[in-house]
Every structure is written in structure tokens, then in C-alpha cells.
Amino acid sequence: MQSLTLNSYAKLNLVLDVLGQRPDGFHELRTIFERIDLHDTIILKRTSGPIRIVCDHPHVPLGPRNLAYQVAQRLQKDFDIPEGVTITIEKRIPVTAGLAGGSSNAASVLQGLNRLWGLGLTSKKLRDYAWAVGSDVAFFLYDTSYALGEGRGEQIKVLAFKTKLWHVLVTPQVKIYTRDVFRRLNLKLTKKKDNVNILLPFLRGNNLYSIGSSLSNDLEPAILSLKPHWGRLLKEKLFDAGAVGVCFSGSGPSVFALAESQKHALSLRARFDRRFSQVFVVSTY
């Protein structure tokens, strides 16, 4: 096998609870991940040269700052792989948007190189590599639509729910970095409710309006403190357009609106302000 093509999917956080700060400097989280059908395409091609990232998106790093590059470099070193690989990323997932596109790319490359280089890594070893490069990477190693994430988000419990949700996803053309959001986080102001366990029975039972009212993200006040005007305006516009529920994903800036159906999602997108260039209709995958 000389090359391999894989899809690399985005995620939403339907709930994100921040429980406290850990001794290692990270935060203890509980979150419900939803995999959605918005995806990048990853093409891996064996080469005799070095590891190389190819991507035409101007904000995707092409060297060691890229998580996919880091995964390939670790595998190459640990298994004394004498060859290189060209990793072509056809980008559709917005970058630095709270959708974990970079983490998803890293997971796809990890799984792909395990096959392409014939490494024979077990699921546990794949998770070890995922944990080493990023908190969200492990979720994408599981073929699941929903999962509970704990720890830094890397401890995954598969949720075998059949519920299919439709969303309008809006990613404004603003930059918000995860590190800045967590610096702004005031743990004294985070909700004390167990939002994960509130949402789980509604998600299991496909109780759409209860799901919509239970969406929550403890990082929202910190996100809004960085970009207060557009964040509140964006949420208001989505509610005014008829969304069932609205929430930020991850550390933002992406905002997603829960719709009643695909038809409803398409009508929401059609009514939405045209100044936002990155507006998608997406569903659970």
C-alpha cells in the first residue's frame, strides 16, 4: 500500500463542565462529544523524503506545531521507520474554531500510519499516542457518534445512542485561542449543576426540546469576555431565527444551533445573516 485516504470528522461539545484545575496545570472536564458529518480529507502517501504536511489553508501549520506532524514524527522515531510520508490535508473544518479539526486530523493520521506502515498497534497503544499529543485526539479513535469525555477530555466512554441531531454551525472570522479562554476562566462562576447527567437521558430518549434547553458550556463567560459583542449577537440571532437551543462548542468561537430537522436547519441557514461566511448545516455522524 503506497497511499491511503481517510475522512477526518469534526466534533461538537453538547455539554462542557469544568470541574476544577488539576495538579498538572490542565483542567478537569466532563463533556459530551458529538461527532458531526463536517470533515476534512487526509491523504497519506509514502515517500523516501521527510515528513511533510501539505495544506492550502493559510492558518494550518505545516511543521512541528501541527498535531498530525507530531503523531507521524513520534511513530517514525519509535519504530525506526526509514521512510517519510506526505500528509495532504484538504481542509473543510474551520481552524481554531472549537471543533477539534487539528485533533481529528492527528487521530486520522495515527490510524492511517498504523495501517500504511504496518505497525500493528493495539487500540490501547493508539490511545497512548493520542493522549501524548492532545486532549481531544482520543475521541476520534472511537467509531461512535457520542461519547462522554473525562479527565482532560481524553478518557472516553462510548455512548451507544441512536439519536440523530441537526444543527446550523456558525464560525465567525475571529480568532480565539484555547489558552486565552482558560486564562479568563473563573471557576467560582462556573455552574455547580451536573450538566452532563442532566442531558444524558434526554439525548438517549431523543427528547429534542429538552436537549436544546440542556446545552451548556462552562467556558462561555470566558469566551464572551474576549469577544462580548459578536458572541451575544450571534446567539441572539440564532434564537431569533427559531433555533431549539444554542451553544458554543469547546473554547469557541463556533456556535451551533439545534434544529428540529434537516429542513428546519436549512431554513435557519437561509434566514441567517449573510455577513458570516462560514455557516454549515451539519448532522450527527
DSSP single-letter state for residue 178 = H
Cα(86)–Cα(283) distance, rounded to whole angstroms?
31
Q: Of the listed 11, 40, 218, 235, which one is catalytic?
A: 11
DSSP conformation class of 284: B
Of the residues 136, 218, 235, 237, which is catalytic? Answer: 136
What separation in angstroms does the CA of 97 have from each of 81, 122, 232?
34, 31, 17
| Active site annotation includes 11 | yes
3-state secondary structure of 185: coil
How far apart CA 116 and CA 75 sit, in angstroms, is: 12
Residue 96, classed as helix, strand or coil, is coil
Surface-to-core class of residue 156, CB atoms within 10 Å of its CB (0-12 exposed, 13-18 middle, 19+ buried): buried
Strands 146-151 and 155-159, how do they pair? Answer: antiparallel
CB 174 within 8 A of CB 229: no
Task: Give catalytic residues, as residue numbers.
Answer: 11, 136
